[in-house]
């Protein structure tokens, strides 16, 4: 079995203003950088055998402090990227509804086969993204049997893994948190994923208290 610490990247300016990122390469904001440091401190005494990250900079910058405290190389994997949203990327949520009312309704309804209009890149359907995300993390787990690994990725990937572990349909509304820089613990059993704990964020609360927030 493989233990996986699944971590969403820290906050970006686009997260804060509810602008869709997808494959666009947006950096962490100052708050996100503090979250990354707090996450690394929280896990500094947790033995890790390997650290993987999406190649987008918001994930890499979140993973780097963790890699440094453990003295491990950061292994980048494009398959850990967020879902590609096509023409949706770069727009505020309220802009999506105005510009693409039909596609926006499909997105809100979690239509698993809807493909949004193409932008710089061709959009992925939710089904396509789910397969990519789950297969990516499963492949990493299978290459690391009996080890504890960290995987730093994106909110959509966390959503997919939680659903895979609980056998929740893609169209069902999300009833769990997907928090920036929180720690989510899973186990790959060889046949499926199990959630051990979800959305641990005490380290983030403590970090904000230290700063007087």
* Phi, psi values for residue 138, rounded to 5°: -60, -45
201 annotated ligand binder: no
Which residues, in sequence order, are CB contacts of 177 under 8 Å at separation 6+? 198, 199
**Distance of alpha carbon 203 from the chain centroid:** 18
C-alpha 49/C-alpha 37 separation (Å) is 19
Ligand-binding site membership of 10 (annotated):
yes
153 annotated as ligand-binding: no
15 annotated as belonging to a binding site for a ligand: yes
Residue 6 has phi, psi (to 5 degrees) of: -100, 120
Catalytic residue among 3, 82, 89, 124: 82
Q: Is residue 9 annotated as part of the catalytic site, yes or no?
A: yes
Catalytic residue among 3, 9, 70, 162: 9
**Longest Cα pair distance anywhere in the chain, in angstroms?**
49
For 129-170, give the DSSP string.
HHHHHHHHHHHHHHTSTT-EEEEEE-HHHHHHHHHHHHT--T
Can you tell me which residue has the tokens 């009312």? 101
Known active-site residue 97: no
Q: What strands lie across the sheet with 183-188, from one edge to the other?
A: 74-76, 50-53, 148-153, 2-8, 183-188, 193-200
Q: Are strands 74-76 and 50-53 parallel, antiparallel or unpaired?
A: parallel
- Residue 11 labelled as part of a binding site: yes
CA distance 30 to 100: 32
Q: Is 8 annotated as a binding residue?
A: yes
Judge whether 41 is annotated as a binding position. no
Is 13 annotated as a binding-site member? yes
131 labelled ligand-binding:
no
Active-site positions read: 9, 82
Annotated binding site: 8-15, 58
* Residue list, annotated binding site for substrate: 8-15, 58
């Amino acid at each position: 079995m493989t233990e996986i610490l699944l971590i969403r990247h820290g906050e970006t300016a686009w997260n804060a203003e509810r602008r869709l990122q997808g494959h666009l390469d947006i950096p962490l904001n100052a708050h996100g950088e503090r979250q990354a440091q707090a996450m690394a401190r929280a896990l500094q005494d947790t033995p890790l055998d390997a650290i993987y990250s999406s190649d987008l900079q918001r994930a890499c910058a979140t993973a780097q402090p963790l890699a440094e405290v453990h003295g491990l190389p950061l292994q980048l994997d494009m398959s850990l990227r967020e879902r590609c949203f096509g023409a949706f990327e770069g727009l505020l949520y309220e802009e999506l509804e105005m510009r693409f009312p039909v596609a926006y309704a499909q997105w809100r309804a979690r239509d698993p086969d809807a493909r949004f209009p193409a932008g710089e890149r061709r959009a992925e359907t939710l089904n396509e993204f789910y397969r990519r995300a789950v297969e990516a993390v499963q492949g990493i787990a299978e290459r690391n049997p009996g080890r504890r690994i960290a995987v730093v990725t994106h909110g959509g990937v966390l959503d997919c893994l939680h659903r895979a572990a609980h056998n929740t349909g893609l169209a069902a509304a999300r009833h769990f948190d997907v928090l920036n820089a929180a720690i989510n613990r899973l186990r790959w059993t060889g046949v499926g994923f199990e959630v051990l704990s979800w959305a641990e964020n005490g380290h983030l609360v403590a970090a904000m208290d230290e700063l007087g927030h």
